[in-house]
Amino acid sequence: MRTTIDSYKDRAGRLDLQGIEFDDFKDQPLPAEALRSLKYMHDVEHHTVCYLRDLLLTPAHSDPAVTSFLSCWAFEEMWHGEAIGQVLEAHGEPAGAPRIAALRQKRRRKEAFSAFSTIASAAFAGRAFIALHMTWGAVNEWTTQAGYSRLAESAGHSTLKELLKRIMKQEGGHIDFYSSEAGRRLEDSVKAQRLTRFALKHFWRPVGAGVMPKEEVRFLVRYLFEGSKGQAIAERIDRRVDRLPGQGGLHLLDGAVSKLSRRNLAV
């Protein structure tokens, strides 16, 4: 059944942190790799609003269902960043406003280029751009949810596991909306299928790759998606992309993991 904006709006809300004891991390700190992963996730969750700024200048702003979704989505992602920030703070790491401000300061010029290129391509593509945006969002949300699942498993920390379970549930709501809209819009338009396939094939990179330093992207992809379990998850996401109209055989995740892994081995 198609996920409607009304069913998503009914479920959307601030992340429930009741019963999450952040002081647990002071008594039982996370392994270094898990903490490094959470810094990445904190920064990327908080970057959502910048991504939203670019999207609202595209044809996406003319569709009320899409803008309603984006309003709730950005709110939920912000609270994911805030919750992860509390984990970082419990480890004595900077989080929240000072960390985000420093990141945005570094990215100011790149941000202007990113906004310009999004707007220019959207103007060229027209409404087909919305199908691309929905598909891109679905791939990123599938990847994000899988990343949290892998982290919950590998960190071996019960408090983190519970927190990530709650975050993943909300990511599931994002997945439902994006993938449902992507399927419907791609089905309706061959132009949208071709545009989306071209953009994914040539420009898609793992979530956060446009924001985070290359060595952090490489670390995260290796930490979460290498090995037999990581590979199985990457293949599962690729099969989901295969099922979207006109998007078969792209192997986005598999390609990204092997590319970043090979580079790392060469370092």
List the interface residues with Fe ion, window 41-60 (CB under 5 A). Answer: 45
In the complex, what is the shortest distance from the CB of residue 249 to Fe ion, in angstroms, rounded to a whole number?
Answer: 26
Q: Does 176 bind Fe ion (CB under 5 A)?
A: no
Q: CA-to-CA distance for 218 and 147, rounded, in angstroms?
A: 14
Instruction: Confirm or reject binding of residue 99 to Fe ion (CB under 5 A).
Output: no
> In terms of CB distance, is 15 or 125 closer to Fe ion?
15
- Residue 171, interface with Fe ion (CB under 5 A)? yes
Applying CB under 5 A, what is the total number of residues that bind Fe ion? 6
Confirm or reject binding of residue 77 to Fe ion (CB under 5 A). Answer: yes
| Nearer to Fe ion (CB atom), residue 195 or residue 216 | 216
Question: Minimum Å distance from CB 176 to Fe ion?
Answer: 11
Sign of CA dihedral 40, 41, 47, 52: positive
Position 218 contacts Fe ion (CB under 5 A): no
Q: Do residues 237 and 143 make contact, with C-beta atoms less than 8 angstroms apart? A: yes
Kindly state whether residue 174 participates in binding Fe ion, applying the rule CB under 5 A: yes
Which of 58/170 has CB closer to Fe ion? 170
> Binding segment for Fe ion among 61-69, 98-106, 133-141, 229-237 (CB under 5 A)?
133-141
Q: Which spans of this chain sit near Fe ion (rule: CB under 5 A)?
A: 45, 77, 80, 141, 171, 174
